[in-house]
Structure 1
Amino acid sequence: MRFLCLPGAYGSAKNFRVQLGPLADELERRGLGTFVYTQGSHEVDPPAGWEDYFGARPLYRFLDTRRGDTFESLRRLRHMPYSINAEDAMRMFQECGGGEDWHQLVWREAMDDVRKTLDENPDVDAIIGYSEGAMVGSSIVVEEAVRAQETGCERQIKFAIFISGSPPLKFEGNNRLVAQLADQAGEVIDIPTFHIFGCNDAFLGGAVALYNVCNRNNATMFDHGLGHIVPRDAENVRLLSDVLEGLIPKVESQYEEEGAEELEEPDVTEEGW
């Protein structure tokens, strides 16, 4: 498979290549994938006190957050109580963010930028998204499904790996975005997915909420036991690669079979001539 790799907030294609490097190198060595890296189009400064955390500058986001406190949304999510379920936590997070008036335009621009990258790389058939990149990637998957249903256009993304993600977003009202949550929207992602997260992640609720809107028959979870990171240690890389060595060929085989069925000529009888 060929993966489009979407970094997290305050990341870059260059830094994500380093973060994902051990896993990507191992998957490539096993013949399971190749990788295309992209990044958001909005250059940002790291939040005060986090200047050395996110790696070498320049840093980027998919979202244009020049208005207001660019780190406020992360602070809100970090303080969500663990005692409530993922969907209620996400709703509380959204309610705390009332009054932000830039959401829909900014989100549409971010989605269009990623869509343009996909159009420029037609051989890409899978996504790896980390944190903000996973939120964008999951939303692209949902948007592709809607477009396919409405127009019959073939879907490009066949498989997604979400690392410390959060659920896809949708428009609501004149200028608001809300998360698509399982207890309201049900299952919105039907392609095979692999969810990587850590039990010590301060944003664990987002990753669980994303898993909950995916088809359970096609969704696999992996807890690396750490925090909000891309796992790079040798043991987790080996374990992740072993799981993906079982998943990726199944996904490829599934879509090859579906493609063969579409190419089969219909039965022709004398009455049909």
Structure 2
Amino acid sequence: MKFLCLLGAYCSAKGFTAQLGPFITSLQQNGEAKFFFVQGEIEVHPPEEHAAFFGPPPYYSFCQATRGNLGKFNMSDFPKRESAEVSMREAIEIADNPTYLNIASVLDRLIKIVDAEGDIDAVIGYSEGGQIAASLLIEEERRRKEYGREPRLKLGILFSGWPPLDPIKGHIMVGDEDSDEYEITVPTCHVIGAQDPFLDGSMVLYNMCDPDTSEIYDHGGGHMIPRVKKTVDDLASFVREQMDAIVGA
């Protein structure tokens, strides 16, 4: 399988390659995984107090809100309510209902890359990249229904992902409010951390996926890509089982 790799905000393709390095090494042990990294086109700058967390510049993002700002949350301030969907909806409201009107052009660019490469058949995304990956899976299905374009992506690996963006309207989709037509039916693996303060966002995304084809792997940490060898090897084995099931189907 060849994975389209989409990084989180305040990162670069070079930085994400390093972050994902241990997982790539472990997953490639059988020689059946390849990776194609794509970064956003919007240059951004992290808050000064958090700059050290993101490593050296430059930093990029895929999307920029035309209204509202979910980036206003400190990790400890994210709402915790009776369900992931209620928490996410409150966070969106506090952030003034952000809208990302450039999502259509972002998805169009990514689909052109997938089509041009020809052999990309899966996607990996972390944080914002997980959100964009989920949006891409939805957009592929929308284009299948509307234009007859057959989806190329057969698997999504989503690290600390957030709910997708509506590919037309640009708002953050919350599964209990948005139409069932936006359910993600492609097999997915949701890599989460029990200590992630934004865990509810990842669970909203998981709940938007087909329960028969989606899996959860909890590394027990925070909003991060695991790098400890034992955890990474276990995760790679977990993902490889999904890959084998798809290839053998």
Q: How do 1:61-210 residues align onto structure 2 when only pairs under 5 Å count? A: 61-64=61-64, 72-75=70-73, 79-98=77-96, 103-170=99-166, 177-182=171-176, 184-186=178-180, 188-210=183-205
Give the match's secondary structure for 1:52.
helix
Q: What TM-score, normalized by structure 1, do the two folds share?
A: 0.84
State the structure with more CA Rg. 1
CA–CA separation in structure 1 for the residues paired with 2:178 and 2:33: 35
How far is 1:184 from its partner? 4.3
Kindly indicate whether the alpha-carbon contact (under 8 Å) linking 1:169 and 1:180 is maintained by their aligned counterparts in 2.
no
Give the match's secondary structure for 2:20.
helix
What are the superposed Cα offsets for residues 168-226 of structure 1, whole Å, 9 maximum, x if unpaired?
12168xx6613141464346100110000100001100110010010111011000000
Q: What TM-score, normalized by structure 2, do the two folds share?
A: 0.91
Q: State the partner residue of 1:223.
A: 218
User: Is residue 26 of structure 1 aligned with residue 26 of structure 2?
Assistant: yes
10-19 vs 111-120, which moves further: 111-120
How far is 1:60 from its partner? 0.4
Q: State the partner residue of 1:16.
A: 16
Q: 1:211 to 1:124 in 2, by over 3 A?
A: same
Q: State the partner residue of 1:271.
A: none
CA–CA separation in structure 2 for the residues paired with 1:225 and 1:183: 29
What are the superposed Cα offsets for residues 115-139 of structure 1, whole Å, 9 maximum, x if unpaired?
2322332210000000000101101
User: Aligned AA for 2:158?
Assistant: F
Q: 1:203 to 1:154 in 2, by over 3 A?
A: same
Kindly indicate whether the alpha-carbon contact (under 8 Å) linking 1:165 and 1:206 is maintained by their aligned counterparts in 2.
yes
CA–CA separation in structure 2 for the residues paired with 1:18 and 1:59: 14
Q: 1:247 to 1:147 in 2, by over 3 A?
A: same
Equivalent pairs counted in the alignment come to 248
Q: State the partner residue of 2:56.
A: 56
CA–CA separation in structure 2 for the residues paired with 1:136 and 1:54: 19
What are the superposed Cα offsets for residues 216-243 of structure 1, whole Å, 9 maximum, x if unpaired?
1101100000000011111111110111
Q: 1:77 to 1:205 in 2, by over 3 A?
A: farther
CA–CA separation in structure 1 for the residues paired with 2:229 and 2:5: 21
CA–CA separation in structure 2 for the residues paired with 1:84 and 1:4: 35
Q: 1:192 to 1:74 in 2, by over 3 A?
A: farther
In percent, how many aligned pairs have the same letter?
A: 34
Structure 1: 4+ residue segments shifted above 6 A: 67-70
User: Aligned AA for 1:26?
Assistant: S
CA–CA separation in structure 2 for the residues paired with 1:56 and 1:213: 34
Kindly indicate whether the alpha-carbon contact (under 8 Å) linking 1:76 and 1:96 is maintained by their aligned counterparts in 2.
no
What are structure 2's unaligned runs of at least 5 residues?
none
